[in-house]
Structure 1
Amino acid sequence: MLRRRSFLSLAALAGLAACSTTEITPPPSSAAPVPEQSSSVQTRELEFNRGGDRALPTKVWLPSGTGPFPLIYFSHGLTSQPDDYAELLSFWASAGFVVAGPKYPHTWNQAPKYDADDVVNQPADAQFVITELLTALSGTIDPQRIAAAGHSAGAITTVGLFSGSRDERLKAGVLISGRQMPQPAPFSGTAAPLLFVQGKLDETVTYEQAYGTYNEVTWPKGFLEIPQGTHLPYRDQPQVVAETTTDFWRWVFNNDDAAKGRMPADASATNAAQLTSTF
Structure 2
Amino acid sequence: MLRRRSFLSLAALTGLAACSTPSSEGSPAASPSAMPEQSTGVTTRELEFNRGGDRALPTKVWLPAGNGPFPLIYFSHGLTSQPDDYAELLSFWASAGFVVAGPKYPHTWYQAAEYDADDVVNQPADAQFVITELLTTLSGSIDPQRIAAAGHSAGAITTVGLFSGSRDERLKAGLLIAGRQMPQPAPFSGDPAPLLFVQGKLDETVTYEQAYGAYNEVTWPKGFLEIPQGTHLPHRDQPQMVAETTTDFWRWVFNNDEAAKGRMPIDASSTNAGQLTSTF
Q: TM-score, normalised by structure 2?
A: 0.96
Q: Work out whether 1:7 is the aligned partner of 2:7.
A: yes
The answer on whether the counterparts of 2:47 and 2:60 sit within 8 Å (CA) in structure 1 is: yes
Q: Work out whether 1:163 is the aligned partner of 2:150.
A: no
The alignment covers a number of residue pairs equal to: 278
Following TM superposition, by how much is the alpha carbon of 1:3 offset from its aligned partner in structure 2, in angstroms? 4.5
Q: Which amino acid aligns with 1:78?
A: L
Determine helix, strand or coil for the equivalent of 2:19: helix
- Structure 1's unaligned 5+ residue stretches are none
Name the counterpart of 1:104.
105
The answer on whether the counterparts of 1:6 and 1:117 sit within 8 Å (CA) in structure 2 is: no
Q: Which amino acid aligns with 1:242?
A: A
Task: Please list, as runs of the form range in 1=range in 2, the aligned pairs for 1:181-220 lying within 5 A after superposition.
Answer: 181-220=182-221
Name the counterpart of 2:28.
26
| Greater mean alpha carbon deviation, residues 17-26 or residues 87-96 | 17-26
Identical-pair percentage: 85
Task: Please list, as runs of the form range in 1=range in 2, the aligned pairs for 1:58-137 lying within 5 A after superposition.
Answer: 58-137=59-138
The answer on whether the counterparts of 2:19 and 2:154 sit within 8 Å (CA) in structure 1 is: no
Q: Residues 133-177 of structure 1: CA distance to partner in whole angstroms, max 9, x if unpaired?
A: 000001100000000000000000000000000000000000000
The answer on whether the counterparts of 1:147 and 1:170 sit within 8 Å (CA) in structure 2 is: yes
The answer on whether the counterparts of 2:2 and 2:186 sit within 8 Å (CA) in structure 1 is: no
Q: Residues 222-272 of structure 1: CA distance to partner in whole angstroms, max 9, x if unpaired?
A: 000000000000000001100000000000000000000000000001101
CA distance in 2: counterparts of 1:61 and 1:151, whole angstroms: 17
Name the counterpart of 1:225.
226
Determine helix, strand or coil for the equivalent of 2:23: coil
The answer on whether the counterparts of 1:73 and 1:101 sit within 8 Å (CA) in structure 2 is: yes
CA distance in 2: counterparts of 1:274 and 1:144, whole angstroms: 31
The answer on whether the counterparts of 1:56 and 1:102 sit within 8 Å (CA) in structure 2 is: yes
Determine helix, strand or coil for the equivalent of 2:156: helix
The answer on whether the counterparts of 2:173 and 2:253 sit within 8 Å (CA) in structure 1 is: yes
Name the counterpart of 2:55.
54
The answer on whether the counterparts of 1:32 and 1:270 sit within 8 Å (CA) in structure 2 is: no
- Structure 2's unaligned 5+ residue stretches are none
Following TM superposition, by how much is the alpha carbon of 1:11 offset from its aligned partner in structure 2, in angstroms? 4.9
Q: TM-score, normalised by structure 1?
A: 0.97
Following TM superposition, by how much is the alpha carbon of 1:12 offset from its aligned partner in structure 2, in angstroms? 4.2
Name the counterpart of 2:252.
251
CA distance in 1: counterparts of 2:137 and 2:205, whole angstroms: 36
Q: Work out whether 1:267 is the aligned partner of 2:268.
A: yes
Q: Which amino acid aligns with 1:60?
A: V
Determine helix, strand or coil for the equivalent of 2:143: strand
Deviating above 6 A after TM superposition, structure 1's stretches of 4 or more consecutive aligned residues are none
CA distance in 1: counterparts of 2:5 and 2:226, whole angstroms: 31
CA distance in 1: counterparts of 2:191 and 2:151, whole angstroms: 20
CA distance in 2: counterparts of 1:14 and 1:23, whole angstroms: 16
RMSD: 1.3
Following TM superposition, by how much is the alpha carbon of 1:203 offset from its aligned partner in structure 2, in angstroms? 0.1
Determine helix, strand or coil for the equivalent of 1:19: coil
Q: Which amino acid aligns with 1:129?
A: V
Name the counterpart of 1:236.
237
Q: Residues 13-57 of structure 1: CA distance to partner in whole angstroms, max 9, x if unpaired?
A: 6444231113333213x4211111242110000000000000000
Q: Which amino acid aligns with 1:198?
A: Q
CA distance in 1: counterparts of 2:139 and 2:270, whole angstroms: 38
The answer on whether the counterparts of 2:8 and 2:118 sit within 8 Å (CA) in structure 1 is: yes
CA distance in 2: counterparts of 1:215 and 1:131, whole angstroms: 30
Following TM superposition, by how much is the alpha carbon of 1:2 offset from its aligned partner in structure 2, in angstroms? 2.7
